[in-house]
Structure 1
Amino acid sequence: MGLLNAWDFQIPIGGIRFFGFNLFLVNQPAAVRRLMVEQVEQFPKHPFTLWVLQPLIGRAIFSVNGTEWERQRRLVDQAFQVAQLQRVFPQMEAATHDLIARLDPLADGRTVGIDAEMTLVAADVIVRTILSRPLAGPEAAVIFEDFSRYQRRAGQAVMLRLLRLPQSLLNRYLATHARRIRVWIRQAIEARLSGSAPGQAASSQDLLQALLEARDPLTGSSFSLEELVDQVCFLFLAGHETSASALAMAVYLLSQVPEAQGRLRQEVTAALAGQNGPLGFEALRQLPYGAALFNETLRLYPPVSFFMREAQLTTNLLDQRCPVGSLLTISPWVIQRHEQHWSDPNSFRPERFLADQASTEERRMAREAFLPFGLGPRKCPGAAFALQEALLVLAELVRRYEILPDPGHSPELVARLTLRSVNGVRVKLRRL
């Protein structure tokens, strides 16, 4: 992000030579669609993207291309069907209930580090929905520190690789920080397979069971143990890091824009229809403003701020020659704030994503220049999962608390594996 300047948010494409690499920033929607939808095989994920995560997620769906990816996608899609989202909803509810129990003693107007709380609830959601057990206490602290350390080291490793340090050396360096996470996940999967896992009776409803039962309709194959470890490591990384980033910024925006907070609270109250219990699965479908608010958060603060692709052949992108091996960057951070795509691009306006209030141009940009989950065949399969989780957490927060700004605090954002604030994200909570 430190390499970006104001011009990058105005141009359709830009290119520089950087330490011997041809680097391009691709902003024009048609060119982005070419890279991510129409000619995916000619522009696969850049090796930098793959090797920096390989020590942690092995050959999971994020790390592979071609027929290997196609097989894995067919299997993973079975675990993220709409029916499966309803099956794991009770686990999401339980994690959100524990979040409220942690926040309630703090809701007296004092400052709360909401990024830490959103990290914990997102991790708790993903562990419950994958493994049918909660994540809390010392175990949670160890896992968070391991993931946080890996994020920092991965960002450093990419820059060191650009400076031509050997990839093998950097891989060994990253593997030392990934080992404890992989061992923890492998033990959980082996316990499930042996029938000795905690929560075994409830496991028929979780994502691990769905992955175990998935069968490739073309070959009849299923995931091996090693493949399951890779997939669960990736789902844990993607499921808790991206959701934690987006939820923290959504709560921060609610603290800054009381009108949006009030409108969401009214929508939640109407969906509850006078009931005092938790929001149910169907009630979440009655929160169009909540969904629009979360989408606008993703537009301004996309958790994955940069996608990297590699040109397999020398070609032209718009009016620029793109040599073979070029590093092509598609940045949701840039495209979703681009002056040629969005009116008032740096303002928070959830109405852009409401069908009855968005302009024709805004609806077109929502299709063509909104890509927090990627585009095309490699679009994140967990998008619906993330929206369901976010709506549940945000709805339960606004129905109980007034979310207030912490005077003088402004998040200092950096793009690592996900978008994070180096000085935290702080708000104040006041019980309603």
Structure 2
Amino acid sequence: MNKATSGKILAKQVNKGIQNALETLSTFSQVHLLGLRKIHAIIKAVGSTLDMFIAQDYERESTKGTGFLGARYFLVNAPADIKRVLQEEATFPKHRVTAWIFKPLIGASTLSAEHGAKWRAQRNHVENVLREITPEVMLPRVYLAMNKAIKTLSIEAELGRVSASKIASELSWDVTCQFLFGISSDQIDISQDELQNFAKFEKSAAFAVVLYQTGISMGLLSFLFHRKAKAARELINRIILNLKDTETPSAFTVLKRLVGNKFQEEKENSNVLDQLTCLSLPAGESMTVTTTLLLYLLGKYPEYQHRLREEANKTIKLIGRKDLTQAQLKTLVFTNCFLNEALRLYPPIPVLYREPASNVQIGNVKCPFKSMIFVAPWVLHRHKSYWTKPLEFNPERFIGNRHKASDEGIANSIYIPFGLGQRRCPGESLAKLQLIIFLIEIVRHFEVITVDNIAPEVVGRISLKLKKPLFVKLRPIALGIT
């Protein structure tokens, strides 16, 4: 072999080596950059837990781990793994950060209690109580609260734009008072400042959770939310004490079922206060945000609003009465699809926290004992692999279950607005009834018009929250005219 030939071969080998090195360096830098982006996202999550997710999280179909200051975090996206994490309670209990956050607010109630016999007993007790507060009991109360809201809105509609957030807050808390105590919120002196204590607690608690992920101890962070938790808890306690001094609650309320026949005798019952405060948080706060966003979606999509109005009027005319039963509400196909799509795009609880009870493997990833595992409805409901045009609002994707994958189990794991498994929201059916009635009555009485075309800015706390109040215009409609 002459020198020229050997020189060419050597040059090719050098060039190939340089090319391989550059490719390796490029891959390393991309992976490293992705890791930096994830760490940056975790830091940003101090403002909103939704900011902890990066673009790749909405495309990845497997579990991915991230390290930060010695801690390990895992986002679970694969449907089979999601189902496992949320259903195997003993293997993946609720993360200890949940009990730490909620204990000052709701004591030892079901939401903060750790896995075990005590938690299971509490959960069974609450489920039995809620089972007794049947739709037949609750629907007249929801309609009562809705009728009161319609009268107020008819007056406010003449003033121009109205606060959708205020409408939703007053209605949600009125229904909550009916549900928990059997009385209207008018019978309780509740100020907007007092109601804001729940939102203030959530904001401070979410801030503390993110800071905890950076390695700061729980003890140092507790001061951030303890005082706000106490203020929110005091509101529920005051309502209970006022009722004790005035009247026995009606038979079919959560309070009556929790206390039994010794209502007047028991001046203090911490367990009852724990459970009522626990139930009031999602019943008031989560429902307020969801109701507000429903108003926004009605105004943004007038064509869907018209279809809802037609469906409601047609059904009411056919049945001959406006107060529909649970079975009749379920026949409103498009209305239920509209609600399902709203809950997909804006899940009330955007992130669920779990931790492995021992070293476990999820898919191909090893998760150390007591690391933090995220199952994020916010990500799953917007995942590019599981939904067609996931950022578009399209109720028709739920007609005939068109959104579902061929595997029913997979479909159930990617649409979880109320959670999944043993810790699934026990008030799901009652919440849906309330929201369906809200949609029906609003579109029958008003044309909802958006004030501007700017999408609401949502942030992740413990539940989904709006960063700014939302306003709409309401144009009254004569009943029966579509």
**TM-score, normalising length: structure 1:** 0.90
CA distance in 2, matches of 1:40, 1:359: 28
Q: 1:241 aligns with which of 285, 289, 302?
A: 285
Task: Answer yes or no: is the 8 Å Cα contact 1:292–1:350 preserved in 2.
Answer: yes
Q: 1:225 aligns with which of 258, 266, 269?
A: 269
Q: How far apart are 1:25 and its partner, in Å?
A: 0.8
Q: Are residues 1:147 and 2:147 paired?
A: no
Q: 1:180 aligns with which of 221, 228, 231?
A: 231
Q: How far apart are 1:276 and its partner, in Å?
A: 8.5
The 3-state SS of whatever aligns with 2:185 is coil
Q: How far apart are 1:169 and its partner, in Å?
A: 3.9
Q: Are residues 1:170 and 2:217 paired?
A: no
Unaligned runs of 5+ in 2: 1-49, 262-267, 478-482
**Superposed counterparts of 1:191-340, under 5 Å:** 191-192=242-243, 194=244, 196-198=245-247, 200=248, 203-213=250-260, 225-273=269-317, 278-282=322-326, 283-340=328-385
Q: Summarize deviations over 1:250-296 as a string: whole Å, max 9, x none.
A: 22111111121111111110221168964333442332221211111
* 72-81 or 360-369, larger mean C-alpha shift: 360-369
**Superposed counterparts of 1:9-408, under 5 Å:** 9-12=58-61, 13-37=63-87, 39-64=88-113, 65-81=115-131, 84-108=134-158, 110-136=160-186, 139-192=190-243, 194=244, 196-198=245-247, 200=248, 203-213=250-260, 225-273=269-317, 278-282=322-326, 283-355=328-400, 358=402, 361=405, 364=408, 366-408=411-453
The 3-state SS of whatever aligns with 2:198 is helix
The 3-state SS of whatever aligns with 1:2 is helix
The code of the aligned residue for 1:253 comes to: L
Task: Answer yes or no: is the 8 Å Cα contact 1:185–1:232 preserved in 2.
Answer: yes
CA distance in 1, matches of 2:412, 2:341: 13
Q: How far apart are 1:155 and its partner, in Å?
A: 1.6
The code of the aligned residue for 1:270 comes to: K
* 381-390 or 280-289, larger mean C-alpha shift: 280-289
CA distance in 2, matches of 1:83, 1:62: 20
Task: Answer yes or no: is the 8 Å Cα contact 1:353–1:363 preserved in 2.
Answer: no
CA distance in 2, matches of 1:82, 1:361: 35
Task: Answer yes or no: is the 8 Å Cα contact 1:352–1:363 preserved in 2.
Answer: no
Q: Summarize deviations over 1:328-365 as a string: whole Å, max 9, x none.
A: 0000000111111112211212122233x626638846
Q: How far apart are 1:400 and its partner, in Å?
A: 0.7
* 290-299 or 106-115, larger mean C-alpha shift: 106-115
**% same residue:** 28
Closer/same/farther in 2, CA of residues 393 and 359 from structure 1, 3 Å limit: closer
**TM-score, normalising length: structure 2:** 0.81
* 331-340 or 180-189, larger mean C-alpha shift: 180-189
CA distance in 2, matches of 1:164, 1:307: 20
Task: Answer yes or no: is the 8 Å Cα contact 1:115–1:424 preserved in 2.
Answer: yes
Q: Summarize deviations over 1:183-218 as a string: whole Å, max 9, x none.
A: 3322433455x4x345x3x6112121122349xxxx
The code of the aligned residue for 1:367 comes to: N
CA distance in 2, matches of 1:284, 1:109: 32
The 3-state SS of whatever aligns with 2:184 is coil
CA distance in 2, matches of 1:381, 1:354: 25
The code of the aligned residue for 1:139 comes to: I
The 3-state SS of whatever aligns with 1:308 is strand
CA distance in 2, matches of 1:312, 1:161: 19
Q: How far apart are 1:424 and its partner, in Å?
A: 2.1
The number of residues matched between the two structures is 417
The code of the aligned residue for 2:134 comes to: Q
* 89-98 or 327-336, larger mean C-alpha shift: 89-98
CA distance in 2, matches of 1:127, 1:378: 24
Closer/same/farther in 2, CA of residues 171 and 301 from structure 1, 3 Å limit: same
The code of the aligned residue for 2:274 comes to: D
CA distance in 1, matches of 2:191, 2:258: 24
Q: Which of the two has higher C-alpha Rg?
A: 2
Q: Summarize deviations over 1:73-106 as a string: whole Å, max 9, x none.
A: 2111112227623212222122112211221123
* 287-296 or 276-285, larger mean C-alpha shift: 276-285
The code of the aligned residue for 1:417 comes to: I
CA distance in 2, matches of 1:412, 1:387: 23
